[in-house]
Amino acid sequence: MFIGKLHRSNVVLLAGLFFAATGIGFAFHRELQYALVSLIIASIIDLFVGGFMNQFQSSVAEAAFAKELKTLSSFLIYGVLPGVYLMAVTNAGAFSLIVFALYILAVGIRLAYFNQAAEFQDQVDKRHSVGLPLELGVFAIQVVSLV
């Protein structure tokens, strides 16, 4: 038996997590083309996770577990994998490592802020988004790498 409250709707989420972890491994081994493909696949999967998961009924515990798993997946896909990929591409020196580490921290803080309960968040105008979407940074990396 698995730890946690996995539901069959989490299969797509776990696939995205798998490709993110695989991409990190490829980037560490300087297999940059495979790391980029893993990044593309993981980010595409992440775009469809919400819609896929909403098609299933799940208990409150399963939904809470899925929310935490989604945050972990987003952190790997939009934070760690792009940071490690860019470190591998640029043969990062000390300054670059600090910049990439700050980027990964910023992604983690952003995800933690929006993952907390609504009563603990600042009041914002709901008519527009707050902050830069994480997907935009990954999209920019993909476009630049493919050009």
The string of pLDDT tens digits covering residues 48-69 is: 888 887 787 878 888 888 888 8
Which position has the higher pLDDT, 24 or 126?
A: 24
The total number of structural domains in the chain stands at 1
100 located within any domain: yes
pLDDT band at 95; cut points 50, 70, 90: confident
Kindly report the CA angle at 113 between 60 and 7, in degrees rounded to 5? 25
89 located within any domain: yes
- Closest Cα to residue 36, out of 70, 84, 69? 84
pLDDT at residue number 5? 73
pTM of the entire structure?
0.82
88 located within any domain: yes
pLDDT at residue number 143? 78
**What is the rounded CA–CA span in Å between residue 88 and residue 93?**
10
3 located within any domain: no
pLDDT, average across residues 94-101: 88
* Residue listed under structure tokens 């995800």: 111
121-127 contacts at long range (C-beta below 8 A, 24 or more positions apart)? none
67 located within any domain: yes
Terminus-to-terminus CA distance in the chain, angstroms?
45
pLDDT at 91 over 80: yes
Domain ranges, residue 49: 10-146
- Closest Cα to residue 107, out of 133, 86, 89, 69? 133
83 located within any domain: yes
pLDDT in tens, 110-142: 888 887 766 666 676 666 566 667 777 788 887
Q: What does the block give as tokens for 72?
A: 């972990």
